[in-house]
Structure 1
Amino acid sequence: MTTQQLTEQIKKKNSFLCIGLDVDLNKIPIHLLKEEDPIFAFNKAIIDATHHLCVAYKPNTAFYEAYGLKGWKALEKTIMYLNVNHPEIFTIADAKRGDIGNTSAMYAKAFFEDFAFDSVTVAPYMGKDSVEPFLAFKNKHTIMLALTSNAGAFDFQTKIVDGKELYKQVLETSKTWKNAKNLMYVVGATKAEYFADIRKIIPEAFLLVPGIGAQGGNLQEVCKYGMNDAVGLLINSSRGIIYASQNDNFATAAAGKAKELQEQMETILNS
């Protein structure tokens, strides 16, 4: 999927919502545990109830890896279901990979070819040869960690190195890498005050923004400083949507929470 196609979906749906499919079997409705594949059954119900309200889904692979082969199979069935039934929706493998070049090439092949995700998250700590193998795939996107929403982000990301915050140096350096046009970036919603400076460095790139909802991020503040002419934002919400209810009405409840965010986004887009 191209960024132009993603932007068209944002305009069509009046939404730049990304829903995180982080499935914990201890949190899903008990009746689903009787299903042959409870993870996929949960995901399918959430997707069926919310696909018209969002433009992206983001399974965090840790929530599938934790269940071994059954988890990987559920992830495969989930992405296949999305690609067949909702090919217009942008898919993100939240895997946070980042290793030496030949290993990264295999990670890229796994997520872009075998699973057919549109994008994958990566960690840039090992530098360009760990990221460029992902960037080599046409019409696929590499979403690089830039400034994250966790408390530990201040351990390194905002440290001053040679007179400039490290995250800014990471952003500037990434622009020089081969096929950097395929880069997107993770910027946490709880760091809303940083968005203005980030946009000075990467004004046109899409930003994946976790931290709205359960982590306390403010949608209006993020949009005020982070939105560009093409919107350029994917606002992720996971727990706040998919675990809105643990009863039989869980999918309807999830749709209700997604609708609340979508309506806020529509107001912002039309203002």
Structure 2
Amino acid sequence: MNKAALFEQIQKKKSFLCVGLDTDPSKIPAHLLDTEDPIFEFNKAIIDATKDYCVAYKPNIAFYEALGVKGWESLQKTLDYIPSEIFTIADAKRGDIGNTSKMYAKAFFESMNFDSITVAPYMGEDSVTPFLEFDNKWVILLAATSNKGGLDFQYQKIENGQMVFEKVLEKSLEWGNEKNLMYVVGATRADFLEKVRKIVPNSFLLVPGVGAQGGSLEEVAKYGMNDTCGLLVNSSRGIIYASNSEDFAEVASAEAKKLQEQMAVMLEKYS
């Protein structure tokens, strides 16, 4: 999916919502556990309930890898079920030496046909550029994350008072551009969005941390939105686990709709 097609969906749905499919067998409603593929049945119901309100889905690959072969099968079935006009993100956080990254890219872009993949930049250019060799596919580079350990490296100051994450952003522009590179910026680090936008004003940002993690959607929109929206705001637990009863899909739909309505207002206000 190219940038224009993604923005078209944002305009059509008045939404920049990404739904995270971090599907944990211990958290899904008990009545699904007797089905042949509980993970897929849960995801299928969530997709049916939220597809009108979101523009992206983000399966966290670890939740599927942990289940072995059956987990990979559930993931592929889920990916095949997502409507083709909705952007898909493999939240895999890969990043290795060049020939290994090339195989990861083939796995997620060719074998599974995801639109994008999250990539860790620590190993530098040759670990990232193999992912950028595919047409209409995206690298979503980890930049300023909101986990506690992010303080260990990302926000450390280096030369000229610049922070490490700012150096990552600048260096990445030698590898790709706004048509194939996005960046992860945590919602609980909304105060850094202005710094991010000074370096990558036209790029899309994947922003986790709104909802259960306490990030402010208003602040993210205020400091992060650009002329083509430039944001994919992710909510996982706040939507998919809003209820663990038989009404889970209906409740998930209501939560997604609530966020979409807020986003419609912010698109009008800030873009």
The offset of 1:179, in angstroms, is: 6.1
Per-residue displacement from partner, 1:184-221 (whole Å, max 9, x unpaired)?
00000000011011101000000000000011100000
Per-residue displacement from partner, 1:85-126 (whole Å, max 9, x unpaired)?
x11000000000000000000000000010000000000000
Q: TM-score, normalised by structure 1?
A: 0.98
- Name the structure 1 match of 2:192: 194
Runs of 4+ in 1 over 6 A off after TM superposition: none
- Name the structure 2 match of 1:123: 120
Output the CA distance in 2 between the equivalents of 1:94 and 1:161.
29
Residue 23 of structure 2 aligns with an amino acid whose one-letter code is V
Preserved CA contact (<8 Å) 2:17 2:232? yes
Output the CA distance in 1 between the equivalents of 2:154 and 2:264.
32
Gaps of 5+ in 2: none
Output the CA distance in 2 between the equivalents of 1:45 and 1:225.
34
Output the CA distance in 1 between the equivalents of 2:63 and 2:87.
19
In the TM superposition, 1:20-35 aligns within 5 A as: 20-35=20-35
In the TM superposition, 1:39-54 aligns within 5 A as: 39-54=39-54
Preserved CA contact (<8 Å) 1:174 1:180? no
Residue 28 of structure 2 aligns with an amino acid whose one-letter code is I
How many residue pairs get aligned? The number is: 268
Q: CA RMSD in A?
A: 0.9
Output the CA distance in 2 between the equivalents of 1:179 and 1:53.
28
- Name the structure 2 match of 1:111: 108
Residue 2 of structure 2 aligns with an amino acid whose one-letter code is T
Output the CA distance in 1 between the equivalents of 2:138 and 2:57.
14
Q: Percent identity?
A: 65
- Name the structure 1 match of 2:182: 184
Output the CA distance in 2 between the equivalents of 1:225 and 1:270.
14
Q: TM-score, normalised by structure 2?
A: 0.98
The offset of 1:270, in angstroms, is: 2.0
Preserved CA contact (<8 Å) 1:19 1:241? yes
Gaps of 5+ in 1: none
SS at match of 1:150: coil
The offset of 1:178, in angstroms, is: 5.0
The offset of 1:149, in angstroms, is: 1.3
